[in-house]
């Protein structure tokens, strides 16, 4: 599917979504000044897209990296960070349980295979269970999706930060 069509479809899905689940992976880590500017641009675009939505962000980045992006703290969780509490995890699990049988858009952005048990595999499982969900997996190398969800999952071979920064809204 061409990138313009993906943006168009994503905009329609987000407009109709009851909930949005975002997974942010290592592609969102800042490595240098140029990358910092691009991550900030993408973060601002993503926050705008999520504005007014019931969303949750989970990340395999350290909590400090996630906090630096400026998402609402009670709507984020960083399970790999030592500072994460059981209450934070339970808050995420409670939010996730309320997505069942709801129009859920899942955005997996930049998550590879370093810790697939945190975002990658649970997101696929969520799409398998929730028939009203769809998923967009964006990664420059590991963009492929499972065959079991191919009708409701879109694989995008792209740097996820660039993809979000260049997102064309309706």
What is the band of 31 on the pLDDT scale with cuts at 50, 70, 90? confident
What is the band of 72 on the pLDDT scale with cuts at 50, 70, 90? confident
What is the band of 88 on the pLDDT scale with cuts at 50, 70, 90? very high
Residue that has been written with the tokens 């350290």 in this structure: 62
Structural domains of the chain ordered from first start: 3-165 (3.40.50.1220)
108-138 tens-digit pLDDT: 999 999 999 999 999 999 999 999 999 999 9
Please report the pLDDT score of residue 96 as a whole number: 97
Does residue 153 have a pLDDT over 90?
yes
Angle at Cα 8 formed by Cα 40 and Cα 45, nearest 5°? 15
Angle at Cα 105 formed by Cα 100 and Cα 109, nearest 5°? 125
pTM assigned to the model: 0.96
Answer whether 76's CB lies under 8 Å from 40's CB: no
Pairing state between β 76-77 and 55-59: parallel
* CA distance linking residue 118 with residue 34, whole number of Å: 28
Beta bridge partners of 107: 22, 136
User: Which tokens go with 79?
Assistant: 């399970």
Please report the pLDDT score of residue 73 as a whole number: 85
Please report the pLDDT score of residue 68 as a whole number: 87
Mean pLDDT of 17-42: 94
141-154: string of b/e by CB count within 10 Å (b at 16+)? ebbebbeebeebbb
* CA distance linking residue 128 with residue 145, whole number of Å: 12
Mean pLDDT of 142-156: 96
């Amino acid at each position: 599917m061409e990138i313009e069509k993906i943006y168009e479809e994503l905009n329609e899905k987000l407009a109709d979504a009851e909930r949005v689940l975002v997974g942010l992976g290592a592609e969102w880590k800042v490595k240098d000044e140029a990358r910092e500017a691009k991550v900030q641009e993408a973060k601002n675009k993503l926050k705008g897209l999520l504005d007014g939505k019931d969303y949750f962000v989970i990340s395999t980045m350290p909590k400090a990296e996630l906090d630096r992006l400026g998402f609402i703290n009670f709507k984020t969780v960083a399970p790999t960070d030592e500072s994460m509490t059981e209450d934070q995890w339970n808050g995420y699990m409670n939010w996730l349980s309320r997505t069942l049988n709801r129009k859920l858009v899942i955005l997996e952005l930049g998550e590879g295979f370093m810790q697939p048990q945190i975002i990658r595999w649970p997101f696929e499982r969520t799409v398998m269970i929730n028939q009203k969900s769809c998923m967009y997996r964006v990664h420059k190398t590991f963009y492929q999706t499972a065959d079991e969800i191919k009708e409701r999952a879109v694989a995008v071979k792209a740097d996820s930060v660039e993809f979000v920064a260049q997102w064309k809204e309706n």
